Amino acid sequence: MNTKYFYLNTIGCQMNVYDSEQIAVRLATLGYEQTAAMDRADLIIVNTCTVRAKAEQKAFSFIGRLAKMKRNKRRLIIGVGGCMAQQEGQKILERMPCVDLVFGTQTIDRLTGMIQQIETRRCRIVDVHMNDTPEMPEFIKDSRPDNQVSKFVTIMRGCDNYCAYCVVPYVRGAETSREPQSILQEIQMLVDNGVREVTLLGQNVNSYGRKQNLVTFPELLAKINEIKGLLRIRFTTSHPKDLSAHLITAFRDLNKLCPHIHLPVQSGSNRILKRMNRKYTKEQYLDKVAKLRDTCSEIAITSDIIVGFPGETDADFKQTLELVKTVEYDGLFAFQYSDRPHAPSVKLPHKISEPLKRERLQSLLDLQETITKRKNKALVGSTQLILTDGLSKKQVSGEPQSTGQALQWTGRTATNKIVNFNVDPSAADTESLPGKLVGVRIDKAYSHSLFGKAMNAEPSDGGLKGVENYAA
Ligand code: SAM
Ligand code: SF4
């Protein structure tokens, strides 16, 4: 039998990356092999996002390219999944005649059956059914080798927060948490396969377990912290209103929990926060930031901010800039507000013009860049504990080197900063570096990364808070 190939294009957040892996495992059970060469594929799936208008345009332009391919390859099956599929449903089939399958965010467990039907009957299918009390899709173990040091693990799905600008509750459905046992088993399996860091995913991990009366999020973290062989735990995203005192102390008490929190503020103006339905004030937010820093002095804080929310005045925006100056984030994802179907803010008056949104975005990014550079510069001369991911991008794509020359590796600090570093080839067993914690002296700081030299390379189980032990 000829091998069948599938090509998978993932647009959007880490949750989509995780879902795509679960899609890939299911396709493998139908005899499909994954390919990186799109023209070789018998089945092409695009896992879409619709959080901002740009992501949606990206998906439609990709499907447009596929239409051309399909003219020369009639049996090619094209599937559109994820958030945009959920939102648009049948309309995608009408707009894009090349598409055979539209599958929503709660249909992964039905995917293989739908593909089989299309293979045998050449029919077109739309399944965007959503449950009021959604179930977590069955986790299927991926036995394909991938050598990754760090993996995402989805611990909950959906969202009940209904922020005024956000489409997520409508396209991902109600919040549901996954059973702790299933999460622990998945992480154990990943660790057995060589993974050393996990990032727990949820739209608001702070409310993990609450609805179904499972363990709390800090309790789940404590259980994960016990897994032998796992070196680092990260999570995203935290809604500031639900950031509990218990979670704050977890940064002090759990040695594998990385000192980094992504705590999206969205705006520095109380008036806009209220219109956004965020349910906290700037003062409450700043109070939580202060408590985090009091409890864990090295903690890095990053955030999301939306500029140009309907009705945002110059004075509101100035307050956002002031908040950014006060907090001094380690990094920031800043977005221009875009109207999303279903989101209540679509109906709000006083929309901000595109040029003004662009201008505000630029001044926010400029401010953050100055802060990031200053913070990165302050690390020059220090020694940081880096979890090595693999060879740096430059090393992978660069010229072949002569033997004996230092290789450039890449990894992250516990605070999630990217560090590229040279390792003296005679000083360490470099082949086994991926997945190892390495003490790296930071020599240079850039806007988005740091550069340094490895001082030692030692396997270690935990000990994250021991950075100072590696002083050069
Ligand atoms: N659940 C997370 C939270 O509450 O922070 C984030 C989810 S959302 C997928 C990621 C980010 O996209 C949000 O934090 C927000 O800054 C941005 N975003 C969401 N809707 C948006 C919109 N309509 N326009 C611009 N940015 C948006
Ligand atoms: Fe969207 Fe708000 Fe839910 Fe985050 S918490 S996913 S921004 S509704």
* 44-83: pLDDT as tens digits: 999 999 999 999 999 999 999 999 999 999 999 999 999 9
pLDDT confidence of residue 262: 98
**pLDDT higher than 50, residue 40:** yes
pLDDT digits (tens, 9 = 90+) for 127-167: 999 998 888 888 888 877 788 999 999 999 999 999 999 99
Confidence of residue 427 (pLDDT cuts 50, 70, 90): low
304 alpha carbon to ligand 2 midpoint, in Å?
11
Q: Which residues, judged by CB distance below 6 Å to any ligand atom, belong to the binding site of ligand 2?
A: 159, 161-163, 166, 168-169, 203-204, 239
Strands 418-423 and 150-154 turn out to be unpaired
Please list, in sequence order, all residues whose beta carbon lies within 8 angstroms of the beta carbon of residue 199, skipping any fewer than 6 positions away: 14, 150, 151, 152, 153, 234, 235, 236
**Ligand 1 atom with the shortest distance to the CA of 12:** 9
Nearest ligand (C-alpha, residue 335): 1
Q: How far apart are the CA of 415 and the centre of ligand 2, in A? A: 24
Please state the rounded mean pLDDT for residues 90-108. Answer: 96
pLDDT reading at 466 higher than 90: no
Q: Whose CA is nearest to atom 4 of ligand 2?
A: 203
Please state the three-class secondary structure of 88-100 as a single string.
Answer: HCHHHHHHCCCCC
What distances in angstroms separate CA 364 from CA 262, 270, 304, 353, 443, one per listed residue? 18, 18, 11, 17, 28
Residue whose CA is at the smallest distance from ligand 1 atom 8? 51
Q: How far is the CA of 183 from the centre of ligand 2 (A)?
A: 22
Ligand 2 closest atom vs CA 51: 1
